[in-house]
Amino acid sequence: MTKQLQTIARKHGTPVVVIDHDIIRKNYAGFKKHLPKVQCYFAVKANPAPEIVRTLYKTGASFDVASLPEFMLVYDNIKRLPPKQQQDFIWDKIIYANPTKPKETLLALDQYKPLVTYDNLNELKKIRQFAPHAGVVLRLRVDNTGSQCELSSKFGCATGEAVDLIKTAFAMGLVVEGLSFHVGSQCTNFQNFVQALNAAAAVMRESKSRGHEIKILDIGGGFPAPYNKHVRPFRELARVINAEIDRLFAPNIQILAEPGRFLVATAATSVARIIGKAVRDGKPCYYIDDSVYHTFSGIIFDHCQYHLKAFKKGKTDICAVFGQTCDGLDTISQSEELPDLEIEDLVYAENIGAYSNASATWFNGFPPAKVVHINE
């Protein structure tokens, strides 16, 4: 692989992100193998490359979208189906899982009779007014303890409010199709899933006893990518989730999940070039032609750390690696172990497929890295 990366970098220039679709298919197959009862809705936000959407669409995945443009990106694939099938397929293929939506988005979505999430009364009123043909899914607030990215202070209703929000939706003429939650992104604390599944089961039981049976359970994202050896294997998490699902829910419940990083993080490697070199207080410092405003944006937005490796062999030293912009925040790492490198040498970072180029900007006038897809 390292030879191929260098060849690609020579051919396309740097910075470049190489996305291997064989790995995406392998991750999808692993997800389905260990969670066979769960339909997999890829969270497009993790990496919205249309090539990835197409590959996952062909493997049978469905999609979680966070905006109208993401919805249309997925819908473009559905549009190729005959018209009758398109309507039957929409909930099977797309959930709009951003609990807060502008009214213009709801208006545009209504014609597709979409499945959308909500977590408060104001959102419900908006859906009723602007997308009355939508099916709704109530998002619960659940523990995000220990997850790399915390979502619970921004999204989800308290379990104590849930049944009232379900009753209100039905009273307004909407149909609550499902319950959803998110345990926080890169969740290595499996207890978050256990507690969330128990909370959802309790809400479903109470709702049923009040006459409103809920058919869909959406267990969200959070499935951790194997960034380091401390992340326990996915099969162990799946065993815990399967046991809770079997124990808590009726066999006819429809279960879906919204994995983002699990499917794409390990599929991408970025290659950058050393463009500057200095020694500061005795420490080697390298400057590369990528940055935290570009492919390494996950350092800021995703609280993720990526390790840089060199193609060159040799005795390593602790060094700092900075990005190409003028900002001091643009620090990729204060402690990488790299051999003595020269300007023009190449370095690479693995497992950089999620929340990386997805949030790259044009800061300082530098364009986002070129993306090269292999094994499509």
Q: Could you tell me the two tokens for 181?
A: 């939650």
Q: Compare residues 92 and 340 and give the one whose CB is closer to ligand PLP.
A: 92
Least distance (Å) from ligand PLP to the CB of residue 83? Answer: 29
The amino acid at 44 = V
Distance CA 289, CA 297 (A): 14
- For residues 169 to 188, the per-residue mask of contacts with ligand PLP, x marking binding by CB under 6 A and - elsewhere, is -------------x--x---
Any contact of residue 222 with ligand PLP (CB under 6 A)?
yes
Other beta carbons less than 10 A from residue 250's beta carbon: 10
* Residue 257 Cβ vs ligand PLP, minimum distance, rounded to whole Å: 8
CB of 355 to ligand PLP, least distance (A): 7
Give me the active site residues, please: 326
Q: Do 177 and 133 contact (CB within 8 A), yes or no?
A: no
Q: How far is CA 55 from CA 69, 85, 350, in A?
A: 18, 20, 21
Tally Cβ neighbours within 10 Å of residue 155: 22
> Among residues 25, 101, 261, 294, which is the contact residue for ligand PLP, using CB under 6 A?
261
Smallest distance from the beta carbon of 181 to ligand PLP, in angstroms? 9
Strands 254-257 and 38-43: parallel
> Is 97 an interacting residue with respect to ligand PLP (CB under 6 A)?
yes
- Is 119 an interacting residue with respect to ligand PLP (CB under 6 A)? no
Identify residues 298-327 at the interface with ligand PLP (CB under 6 A). Answer: none
Contacts for 147 with CB less than 8 Å, ≥ 6 apart? 183, 184, 185, 186, 187, 188, 189, 192, 222
Instruction: Lay out the site mask for ligand PLP across 29-68 (x = CB under 6 A, - = otherwise).
Output: --------------x--x-----------------x----
Looking at residue 140, the DSSP 8-state letter turns out to be B
- Minimum CB distance to ligand PLP, residue 46 (Å): 5
By rule CB under 6 A, what count of residues binds ligand PLP? Answer: 16
Tell me the Ramachandran region of residue 38: left when phi exceeds 0, alpha when psi lies from -120 to 50, beta otherwise: beta
223 binds ligand PLP (CB under 6 A): yes
Instruction: Kindly list the residues in this chain that would bind ligand PLP in the complex (CB under 6 A).
Output: 43, 46, 64, 97, 151, 182, 185, 220-223, 258-262
